[in-house]
Structure 1
Amino acid sequence: MAFEPPQRLVRALAESAPDGDAWVEELPEATERAVAERELTVERVQVPGGRSSLVVLVRLADGTPAALKLAPPRYRPEAERAALAHWGGLGAVQLIESAATDGVPPMEGVLLLERLHPEVSVRSLPEAKAWLEAAGTLRRLWVAPPEGTVFETVAERTGRQAVAMRGASAPAEVAALVDAALAAREELLAAPPEVRLLHGTFRQSKVLAGDRAPWLAVGPDPVVGECAFDLARLVRDRVEDLIASPSGAATTRRRVKRLAESLDVDQERLRGWTLFRAVESGVRALRVGRPRDAELLLEFAGWL
């Protein structure tokens, strides 16, 4: 079978690929090797798929359905493996292959996972129910990180992002938002209230229907830090609908309040991290040539 990566993945990876990166070109061969080594039967490549990995729906030698995921090193797939192993299936997709098999470690960047229902996410639920299920799933992931953790901290990740934000050329109104976001980050990092293992990129589309549990999180980019950082990305879910609504600004502020209260997170800290993450995403969208996405994100940030 030819393992051609979906165009959505090719376009997304092209935005962030370093010079000379050949991961996409080598992906078909790497997928064939991963399938052969595990004696998997391929059903199909998941399309349109994600923006940072190839997912192939497969069956194990005994017929059990599974999902084979391949991701480039810059998206930290080994950190994802470590986080999924630590969660052990509680609130998140279960690793099928988490340790060495017959003394051979798993291929770097290749994860074999339980099969969920990729076509059914929490986002398909009525809005009130979707928020409830998403918040409940996220709460289960917030556990103490393992001893000797290999994960990035919130300070480290946002530090790299802050450098890129400072170096970006932007109009005056965007520069003012960048200054506000950077100031919020400095204040938030001065006194973090707790340290937990976080999903890192949590939103409604990252919660899929399963058989073992009704809803399970997928695709973490794990990081260690305070819970408000993790919840901040969820606040701007369905941002297109928020921007299109005449009451979008008021709805956003109510959303911050309700999510903070439902998950016992300080409201002002959630607002601050939501501002930082929205501005960072908006500036990055400008940098890679996605002006429409940048416009939505920065307008949203302005409401905070």
Structure 2
Amino acid sequence: MIQSPEVFVRSTMAREGERGATWLAELPAIVDELLGRWECVPDGEVMHGGVGLIVPVLRMDGEPAVLKVSFPHPGNRYEPDALTEWGGRGAVLLHERDDQQFAMLLERAQTPTLAQVGTGDEVATVAGQISRRLATPAPPHLPRLQEQADTWEEQLRQEAAELPHVLSTYIVSAALATVHELARDQPGTLVHGDLNARNILKADREPWLAVDPKGWAGDPASDCGTLLKSRSVVLVEEGELRTAIRRTLDIFTEASGLDRERARRWAQLSAVQAAFSGRRRGFRRARQGAELDRLVALVDELAVILTAPD
């Protein structure tokens, strides 16, 4: 039986508590059953993402693949639907799925991510190209991002009133305006939902392939916020953040074919939401201490930069 990496065990337990402990205890048997059913054998070191265990395998015909089993959570439910719809267009291929176990047998990409090996403008260019390729009509059963607009507005107003913060009324009002003007009426495009450089892998079939989609229907420009938040951690160490963020926004929107102003507004909303959620719950990178303070200050700065139109 496989053994889950210790880091994955600790993070799952910290995040999910008793439910996580129960699932982790059952996970080796789940993996063994799926390996047998899908006629695969392990082929390498067990890996993990934020919420899923990843087992490199070989199929009966010798084709390399990966078995991914995620912690059962509503946020992971529509990943196989998105991958099915794309059919390998800009994303890894889905070979098999077991929705009850939140499990998939996927095309194996290479280990390096765009975040690890992408240089300079390449990250924004590749992410934009992937975004363009993934922009297909969403299946009608997928959840609509516009249905979250009321919740977003309520959370923004509540957190702005309750949490100590340094964001001006103008910055918060700009985020609320985006909810009113963009979030409530969105196109029915299939949206990745977490398009950052860590979720784009080098591959053999294509140079780069996306992984770990959320599978929502909405405005593809909304994915710009995830990219800029993740890139800001790197860009702030390389020089003047304002210039770097604007350049990244320029390159991403040109490569993706998205409207720059629309993408900027979505990214500003995302930064403001992150500024509040970071104060309330921390980030995956840090839950407390000096590193959390640094990240909160960074998303505050990002919100300021993205509030002012160029």
Quickly name the TM-score band, shorter chain normalised: 0.7 to 0.9
Kindly provide the amino acid, as one letter, of the partner of residue 210 in structure 2: A
Give, in angstroms, the shift of residue 263 of structure 1: 2.7
Q: Is the 8 A contact 2:132 2:255 kept in 1?
A: no
In 1, the alpha carbon distance for the partners of 2:150 and 2:68 equals 29
Distance 1:260 1:244 in 2: 23
1:206 corresponds, among 194, 199, 204, to 199
Structure 1 CA distance for aligned equivalents of residues 248 and 124 of structure 2: 10
Deviations 1:186-209 (A, max 9, x none): 2213554x3311111101221111
Say how many residue pairs are matched.
293
| Residue aligned with 2:194, SS | coil
Higher alpha-carbon deviation: 17-26 or 294-303: 17-26
2:279 to 286, 294, 301: 286
CA separation of 1:273 and 1:10: change in aligned 2, threshold 3 A: farther
Task: Give the Cα–Cα distance (whole angstroms) in 1 for the partners of residues 174 and 8 of structure 2.
Answer: 33
Name 1:150's counterpart in structure 2. Answer: 141
Find the partner of 2:234 among 241, 257, 270: 241
SS in 2 for 1:51: coil
Contact 2:4/2:46, CA 8 A, preserved across alignment: no
Shift of 1:40: 2.0
> Contact 2:94/2:105 (CA < 8 Å) preserved in 1?
yes
Aligned CA-pair RMSD: 2.7
Which secondary structure does the structure 2 equivalent of 1:63 belong to?
Answer: coil
1:225 maps to a residue whose letter is G
Give 1:77's aligned amino acid: N
**1:94 touches 1:114 (CA, 8 Å); kept in 2?**
yes
* Aligned position for 2:176: 182
1:85 is aligned to 2:84? yes
1:252-293 per-position Cα deviation (integer Å, ceiling 9, x unaligned): 123323333333322221111101112223322322233243
The alignment partner of 1:265 has SS state of coil
Counterpart secondary structure, 1:274: helix
- Is the 2:77–2:99 contact (alpha carbons within 8 Å) kept by the matching residues of 1? no
Report the CA distance between 1:54 and its aligned residue.
1.1
Most deviating of 106-115 and 170-179: 170-179
Q: Which amino acid aligns with 1:213?
A: E
Q: How does 1:204-283 map to 2 (within 5 A)?
A: 204-283=197-276
TM-score (norm 2): 0.83
Q: CA deviation at 1:167?
A: 4.1
In the aligned structure 1, how far is the partner of 2:23 from the partner of 2:157? 29
| Residue 303 (structure 1) aligns with | 305
Against the structure 1 CA distance between its residues 244 and 9, is the aligned structure 2 distance closer, same or farther, given a 3 Å change threshold? farther
Contact preservation (8 Å) 1:232, 1:277: yes
1:63 equivalent to 2:62? Answer yes
2:27 is the counterpart of 1:34: no
| Structure 1: segments with no counterpart, 5+ residues | 99-104
1:52–1:75: 8 Å Cα contact kept in structure 2?
no
Percent identity (aligned): 29
CA distance in 2, matches of 1:159, 1:77: 22
Distance 2:168 2:24 in 1: 35
- What SS does the corresponding residue of 1:33 show, helix, strand or coil? helix
Q: In structure 2, list runs of 5 or more residues that go unmatched.
A: none
* Deviation at residue 132 of structure 1 after TM alignment: 2.0
Check conservation: 1:80, 1:221, Cα contact below 8 A: yes
Q: What SS does the corresponding residue of 1:303 show, helix, strand or coil?
A: helix
TM-score when normalising by structure 1: 0.84
Question: 2:54 and 2:147 mapped to 1: Cα distance?
Answer: 29
| Contact in 2 for aligned 1:96/1:112 (Cα 8 Å) | yes
